[in-house]
Chains A and B, each alone.
Chain A
Amino acid sequence: MSRTIETARTYLRPSKKLPTVWCAGCGLGIIMAGMIRAIDRVGPNRNDVAVVSGIGCTGRMPAYVDFNTLHTTHGRALAFATGLKLARPGMTVITAMGDGDALAIGGNHFIHSCRRNIDMTAIVCNNHIYGMTGGQYSPTTPHGKRGTTAPYGNVEHAFDCAALAVGAGASFVARTTVYHVRELDRLIEQAIRHRGFSVVEVVTNCHTSYGRMNRFGSPVDMIRWMKDSAVSVARAGSMSPEEMEGKFTRGVILERDMPEFIDVYDQLAQRVTASPAAVEAVVKILESYDRSHDRLRI
């Protein structure tokens, strides 16, 4: 164990940025360390790694890690990451988002990123609440549970993040919890290695807001609940709906081969470059202007 902590430590930025803003006992540090270990195992040059986030407690994660880091606006991490990946396809691009960030204000970017299948990894840190702003209900707050804007219980119904990703067309979808640390490392590693858009939902604890308002106890109590409630995909397959009541699956939920966006785009560019008609059309547009003409790949 000490070796894995050491690995994480070598990727942290100089002490100026530490300690983190996160509450003692928060699961986000576990996810950050898992992400670091996964990157370390995949082994890209760290100059070729970008970690992109939105707003909220999870949004602060990039500041602590020694990669190219981009802390964007609320919900938009994937949109910024999309532009970066298209400009720098050789980079390993990972986004870290909270549940409100990824699925409420960023919901549109999330589903369209799944559909496009650009080779990036989205880590969704699901603590079922808006933590940084003080415990307002989020799109993953279960029906009936309390938040500071749901003082009598949540009227709405929660998104199942992983199911949403599957439905929207992601090519790799997995879920785990901050209790299942070895699985966490492995799933993020698999997600990074997968060529296409990958989603890893990580169930984590916000004992400060969500836990306190719903009397879930200490971080240890909440993590124990994860241990008891998360059922591996293999085991869940042989369980009845009644047995699965109140539980959720963990592991690789979906993995499929789908053409990756930039691969397809570049193949297409090669094809049109070889097509006299297409080149002719663009030359016609640019013919008055010789520098553009020179830049044509013909």
Chain B
Amino acid sequence: MTSEKGKVMVLQGNEAAAIGALAAGVDFFAGYPITPSSEIAELMSRSLPLLDGRFIQMEDEIASMAAVVGASLGGARAMTATSGPGFSLMQEHLGFACLAEVPCVVVNVQRAGPSTGLPTQSAQGDVQQTRWGTHGDHSIIALAPSTVRECFEMTIDCVNLAEFYRTPTVLLSDEVIGHMRESVCFPQAGTFKLESRAVPTEGLPDYCPFEECGEFVAPLSPYGGEYRFHVTGLTHDAHGFPTMVPHEVDHKIRHIVGKIEDRADDLARHEELATEDADVLLFAYGSTARVAKASVRALRKKGIKAGLLRAKTIWPFSGKRLNELADRLDLIVVPEMNLGQIVLEVERAVRGRVPVHRFGRVDGRLFEPDQITDFVLREVGR
């Protein structure tokens, strides 16, 4: 997505996410008002009637997510947007969509929690909830934007990945990115790829909506199409009917986890700044990564060889790039707006080969560059 021919606009991240959704062909949105994500629902409610799509405001986030799954089964490209308390309520049907393998997108504009927390303040406290929030073994794909342009691009990516992997995806934004305004130049249409879910060929004598058939996910026929089939939140066989046969159950769970986790390295996307000769690596994502960039520059001026590895893909977590860098590093510092969530994955990836220091901020405010710079200086004994 490199074309710069589009018109430059000043937009906020939430608006860019909604425009990204429309660019990706999202034609169904169900949501419930919640700060700091409501601009997305507002823009979708305004645009979808003009684009042959439909918008509905549901009675809560449980229903919103259910409607999104229902619409997707009808063949729609379906999305919702929310924040912490709403994301908690959506866990029920994120799990349903994982098990029933229904493509859909959730934008979570993170705010400070737990509970009602600080509705208008930013945080990155939903990182592990995104991975493990719904019960049972499953996997999920989550991307974290750091810029307004990335809100656009990554929403398209989320739609594409949802369609390709037949699974729910999460745009893990935060209040700072969602409400920040910056100039953005969108790519022209046709310069990026749009994925559509695989659909079965016509005239199959026995359509299996959950049979892998040599491909890694089964084609999904829309309700109202050629095939009639059953979808359930019960663990099911290849035809979609409930099963308690141990090897069928085992296969199903390994499939929904493996189709994502086995491709973690392919799905991993990073941005790197000054990592070639770095002694100290900052590992960051989302709004915190913007601050970390400024810290890297400040540290370099002070003679510390600092670098930044910014994770664009949060889940599935890939430690591949970290491991390539680890042996050359003296220290990894993980600043995040929580008390230690992605750092657990970083520690697990480098397995003690290099010290990993966590640095959390949980007062609802974004880090300041000096804070991270000073923290690193203290940690390296300067």
Contact = CB atoms under 8 A, between A and B. Distances in A.
B is a partner of A: yes
Interface of A: 13, 16-17, 46-48, 50, 52, 62-63, 66-73, 76, 79-88, 90-91, 108-109, 112, 262, 265, 268-269, 272-273, 278-279, 281-282, 285-292, 294-298
B223 A109 contact: no
Contacts of B59: 79, 108-109, 112
B71 A83 contact: yes
A68 B185 contact: no
Contact of B69 (A80, A91, A269, A292): A80
Contacts of B309: none
Nearest to B46: A282
B15 A72 contact: no
B228 A88 contact: no
Contacts of A298: 50
Interface in B135-188: 184-186, 188
Name the 8 nearest CB pairs between A and B, nearest first.
A291-B189, A83-B70, A83-B67, A87-B74, A79-B66, A83-B71, A79-B63, A269-B49
Given A47-B224, A63-B241, A288-B7, A79 B70 contact: yes
B264 to A, nearest CB: 28
Given A46-B228, A76-B66, A288-B186, A87 B28 contact: yes
Nearest to A295: B51
Interface of B: 6-9, 15, 19, 22-23, 28, 30, 43, 46-47, 49-52, 54, 56, 58-60, 62-64, 66-76, 78, 92-93, 96, 184-186, 188-190, 222-234, 241-242
Contacts of A290: 6, 188-189
A174 B228 CA distance: 29
B75 to A, nearest CB: 6
Nearest to B188: A290
11 contacts: A70-B73, A71-B232, A82-B30, A83-B72, A87-B71, A108-B60, A109-B63, A269-B49, A269-B50, A288-B7, A292-B47
Nearest to B231: A70
Nearest to A64: B230
A145 B43 CA distance: 51
Nearest to B70: A83
Given A70-B73, A76-B62, A88-B74, A282 B47 contact: yes
A288 B68 contact: no
B240 to A, nearest CB: 9
Residue among B28, B92, B224, B231 with max Cβ neighbours from chain A (10 Å): B224
Nearest to A268: B49
Contacts of A288: 6-9, 19, 184-186
B206 to A, nearest CB: 11
Interface SS, A side: helix
Given A80-B66, A83-B69, A88 B75 contact: yes
Given A76-B93, A79-B59, 15 more contacts: A13-B230, A52-B70, A62-B230, A63-B242, A70-B223, A80-B66, A82-B67, A83-B74, A83-B76, A84-B73, A84-B74, A88-B223, A269-B50, A289-B23, A297-B51
B242 A67 contact: no
A75 B168 CA distance: 21
Given A86-B28, A285-B47, A292-B19, A73 B189 contact: no
Contact of B6 (A62, A272, A289): A289
A187 B46 CA distance: 39
Contacts of A48: 224
Contacts of A278: 50
Nearest to B184: A288
Nearest to A48: B224
A285 B234 CA distance: 42
A71 B67 contact: no
B218 to A, nearest CB: 16
Contact of B23 (A81, A112, A272, A291): A291
B78 A83 contact: yes
Given A86-B56, A86-B71, A63 B232 contact: yes
Contacts of A16: 241
A70 B70 CA distance: 9
A164 B242 CA distance: 33
Which of A81, A84, A262, A295 counts the most B-chain CB atoms under 10 A from its CB? A84
Given A88-B223, A91-B74, A68 B228 contact: yes
A84 B223 contact: yes
A278 B75 CA distance: 28
Contacts of A63: 230, 232, 241-242
Nearest to A298: B50
B50 A273 contact: yes
Given A72-B66, A289-B189, A91 B233 contact: no
A47 B67 contact: no
Contacts of B67: 79-80, 82-83, 86
A151 B9 CA distance: 66
Nearest to B47: A282
Contact of A272 (B50, B185, B234): B50
B24 to A, nearest CB: 10
Given A72-B66, A76-B66, A285-B43, A273 B76 contact: no
Contact of A73 (B9, B23, B93, B225): B93
A83 B224 contact: no
A292 B56 CA distance: 20
B71 to A, nearest CB: 4
Nearest to B80: A83
A290 B340 CA distance: 42
B357 to A, nearest CB: 41
A66 B115 CA distance: 43
Contact of B186 (A62, A66, A265, A289): A289
A273 B242 CA distance: 45
Contacts of B28: 83, 86-87
Contacts of A87: 28, 54, 70-76, 78
From A66, A288, A291, residue with most partner B Cβ within 10 Å: A288
Given A272-B49, A282-B50, A73 B66 contact: yes
